[in-house]
């Protein structure tokens, strides 16, 4: 079924994004997997091509396209290469950018955004803590007022880009007695005394993304590194979760659709009992179901993108797209592994890596269970 939300500009942009992926990402994938990180050169090339500043005004080095469908197109093309790469770039240009653009002072924007857009600075978001998970209001990292700034103590975990981030948006508790209404956002910069990175976490999948623990020990952060309003950090985070979740949905279904296409090619060529395995009725029916499910989900996600672009996407509808796309993604990829047989369990096959990489999408950006809780509450349950 044709997708009708794109125009000629989007198609031209997709061609540029694909060319970047084919030239700068695909040939380096084995290196990224071995080193468990994305080398700086790939970031700098993305910045040079204008992919990292889509939401950033031109005066700060971005393109300020004002059309979320461009974010969608870039995420889709990167997701076709690797779910991990999409998550790393997505945290930077899709999740962190709105914080800097919407909440930053003029001085902060001038200081950070030009290098953010060029890829010289890589961004991460430090919200999740070892004891908190999806419960952002329960964080334990503290920031105590000091002369000219704040002193941070605490830790974060599961931080995408944490291994190499130059700028980390950190949520810390500034007024403990106010609960969720006492959280503030700070920008921690590489090289600050008291800021340390833990080991690269040994994940089940998404090997090529540098996911790390972050530690703050008596870390002094000046007042001019406070991002947004004092004690309104939780609200700032909630206001931007819809974009994070629709962005996750975009990547989820693009990733699944690509591997399903590759699996269809495989079952046309792979033979058993004298015929292509795709011609067996069970496999044929299964693939028909998977293709339909992917296309239905794609239409739903596209509708969510348009709603977000028109400022109509609610937090509840974003939750729906996030959990459903993750569910379908994992269902499709599990079936693709099965259709590959024993080869589907071999790491040298993309389908095996994709299957591993996808499992976390039902957990991050708010677990699927939390998404359903939000939806249930909205229904008055």
CA 246 to chain centre: 10
Query: Under 8 Å CB-to-CB from 137, ≥6 apart: which residues?
Result: 179, 180, 183, 234
End-to-end CA distance of the chain: 36
Q: Are 191 and 121 in contact (CB under 8 A)?
A: no
Residue 282 token pair: 């069970």
Distance CA 61, CA 286 (A): 48
Catalytic residue ranges: 244
């Amino acid at each position: 079924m044709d997708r009708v939300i794109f125009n000629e500009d989007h198609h031209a942009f997709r061609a540029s994004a694909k060319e970047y992926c084919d030239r700068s990402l695909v040939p380096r994938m084995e290196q990224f997997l071995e080193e468990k990180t994305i080398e700086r050169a790939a970031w700098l090339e993305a910045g040079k091509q204008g992919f990292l500043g889509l939401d950033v005004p031109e005066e700060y080095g971005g393109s300020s396209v004002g059309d979320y469908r461009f974010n969608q197109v870039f995420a889709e093309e990167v997701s076709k290469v690797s779910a991990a790469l999409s998550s790393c770039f997505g945290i930077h240009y899709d999740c962190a950018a709105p914080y800097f653009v919407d909440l930053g002072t003029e001085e902060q924007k001038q200081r950070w955004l030009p290098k953010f857009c060029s890829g010289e600075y890589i961004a991460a978001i430090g919200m999740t803590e070892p004891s908190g998970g999806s419960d952002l209001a329960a964080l334990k990292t503290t920031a105590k007022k000091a002369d000219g700034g704040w002193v941070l103590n605490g830790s974060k975990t599961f931080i995408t880009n944490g291994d190499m981030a130059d700028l980390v948006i950190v949520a810390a508790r500034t007024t403990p007695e106010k609960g969720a209404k006492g959280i503030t956002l700070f920008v921690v910069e590489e090289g600050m005394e008291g800021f340390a990175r833990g080991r690269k976490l040994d994940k089940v999948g998404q090997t090529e993304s540098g996911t790390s623990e972050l530690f703050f020990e008596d870390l002094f952060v000046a007042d001019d590194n406070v991002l947004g309003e004092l004690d309104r950090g939780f609200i700032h985070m909630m206001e931007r979760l819809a974009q994070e979740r629709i962005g996750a949905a975009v990547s989820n279904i693009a990733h699944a659709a690509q591997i399903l296409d590759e699996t269809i090619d495989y079952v046309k060529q792979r033979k058993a009992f004298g015929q292509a395995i795709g011609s067996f009725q069970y496999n044929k029916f299964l693939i028909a179901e998977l293709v339909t499910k992917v296309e239905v989900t794609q239409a739903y996600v596209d509708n969510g993108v348009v709603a977000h672009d028109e400022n109509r996407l609610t937090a509840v509808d974003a939750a729906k797209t996030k959990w459903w796309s993750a569910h379908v993604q994992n269902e499709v990829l599990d079936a693709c592994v099965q259709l590959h047989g024993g080869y589907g369990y071999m790491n040298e096959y993309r389908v095996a890596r994709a299957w591993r990489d996808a499992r976390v999408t039902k957990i991050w950006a708010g677990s699927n269970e939390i998404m359903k809780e939000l939806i249930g509450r909205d229904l008055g349950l």
